[in-house]
Amino acid sequence: MTAKNKKKRLAVGFVALGCPKNMVDSERMLALIAQAGFTVTQDSDNADVVVINTCGFIAPAKAEALDAIRHAVNLKKKGSVKKVVVAGCLPQRLGNRLFNEAAGIDAIVGLEHRDNIAQIIEKTCSADKPVASLSRFHKILYDDRTRFRITPRHWAYLRISEGCSRRCSFCTIPAIRGKIRSKPLPLIIAEAQELVASGAVELNIIAQDISAYGRDLKSKLTLPALLTELAKIPMLHWIRLLYLYPTGVSEQLIETVADCGKILPYFDIPLQHINPHILTLMRRPHSKDRLCRLIENLRTKLPGCVLRTTFIVGFPGETDARFNELLDFVKWARFDNLGCFPFYPEQGTPAAKFPHQVPDLVKKRRLEQLMLAQQQIAFEKNKSRIGNSLTCLIDSVNKNHSATGRFFGQAPEIDPVCIIKNCSTAAGSFLETKVIGSKNYDLLCERIKY
């Protein structure tokens, strides 16, 4: 039996956790595993090897990863799984300590070793003691081409850089993923062309901070210049901007979006907070005035644009008055979509040691209050869309003869959707619809007949 045939008999299950950046890593690892001759199985509870690609960014993500690891280790004890391999942010953050946090792991794989996943699996299968593939440094800029896609055929994530050079006081990402490394333009274009050739009509541009793209490149290429090049790709219809740092939303970027129909007027700008004292403590150098002007400017230059943001409540030093300032701002700004997290004091971050930590119960109450205020805004916005025509990208056709789709203001996975009744149009098609109602956060639409 050849080595390749022997490998073919080994079934590898894959558990992909974490954010879209991690999903790109998962898709790349899956392709490398398949290319090496292993059989990729969806039944990870009965696989020879289970690979868990983890997130370790905040406490709930770490807890989710540890749950998945313990589940796989239990299956190993029962004999249905032989080896458990843990990759991604959690091993990068915890290093060899992870072997103690979840006993029974056979291999840990740091971020720098992503592209060696097949060789690591092979080594683990023949090793009688745990294997650790870890590096402390963050130098590698991955080539993300050739992926085994987890996302549907018609949309994909396109990562344009890795790491982050900002130093927000609450964030573990720079320590886990290192400083920014932008991909060169030809590599991004080649990857985008590959994704489009495989059926993607929508590309979601991701990075820790996409607005910082190019700062570390000798060419000093900027995000607007990159987007202009991407927009030239035939058959690519939607380009969506996720994760913009507020000060990175330049006039040039706004003009580029206004001039190019393919770049959606959808801005995902995590603001984190609005109170000046909290922003200073967070080490985020923008003033409340500047943020208000940014929102007004976007809505003036791009009427009808969709704004998404994220906030942290219960940051150390957030008094009732400072929280109320945030709440008032949310009511004023009327974001289309909003996410909110309680502050997690992550080990190794400056904010974890700040005085005036906020009790968990207060954080929970503030989060509920903020999301309730946003719910009212979202429902009012949905009502105001009734009667409007929307071009929807169909994501799936459901059993009850309805389809699920999204208009340009709805990003995949995180935003609400459009439910289109009496529709059997194939996923990946664009359809003209009219909004006829709403159901919670979702829009109810019908097909426009010509």
Given the rule CB under 6 A, which residues bind ligand SF4? 164, 166, 168, 171, 173-174, 208-209, 245
| Widest pairwise Cα distance in the chain | 72
Q: Which of 60, 117, 127, 48 is nearest to 86 (CA)?
A: 117
Is beta strand 403-406 parallel, antiparallel or unpaired with respect to 337-342?
unpaired
| Residue whose CB is less far from ligand SF4, 164 or 417 | 164
Q: Which of 328, 413, 327, 319 is nearest to 367 (CA)?
A: 327
Query: Residue 216 in 3-state DSSP?
Result: coil
Smallest distance, Å, CB 430 to ligand SF4?
32
Smallest distance, Å, CB 230 to ligand SF4?
22
Q: How far is CA 371 from CA 60, 363, 379, 396, in A?
A: 19, 12, 12, 28
Euclidean distance between the first and the last CA atom of the chain, given in angstroms as a whole number: 62
- The answer to whether the CB of 172 falls within 8 A of the CB of 44 is no
- The answer to whether the CB of 151 falls within 8 A of the CB of 143 is no
- The answer to whether the CB of 269 falls within 8 A of the CB of 307 is yes
Tokens of 21: 């950046």
Taking the CA atoms of residue 343, residue 344, residue 347 and residue 351 in that order, the dihedral angle to the nearest 10 degrees is 10
| Residue whose CB is less far from ligand SF4, 13 or 163 | 163
Smallest distance, Å, CB 363 to ligand SF4?
18
- The answer to whether the CB of 204 falls within 8 A of the CB of 121 is no
Smallest distance, Å, CB 168 to ligand SF4?
3
Q: Tell me the C-alpha distance between 213 and 248, whole Å.
A: 10
| Residue whose CB is less far from ligand SF4, 166 or 237 | 166
Q: Tell me the C-alpha distance between 39 and 48, whole Å.
A: 10
Is beta strand 337-342 parallel, antiparallel or unpaired with respect to 202-206?
unpaired
Smallest distance, Å, CB 288 to ligand SF4?
18
Smallest distance, Å, CB 178 to ligand SF4?
11
Smallest distance, Å, CB 20 to ligand SF4?
13
Smallest distance, Å, CB 315 to ligand SF4?
12
| Residue whose CB is less far from ligand SF4, 180 or 417 | 180
| Residue whose CB is less far from ligand SF4, 86 or 173 | 173
| Residue whose CB is less far from ligand SF4, 164 or 239 | 164
| Residue whose CB is less far from ligand SF4, 110 or 174 | 174
| Residue whose CB is less far from ligand SF4, 110 or 246 | 246
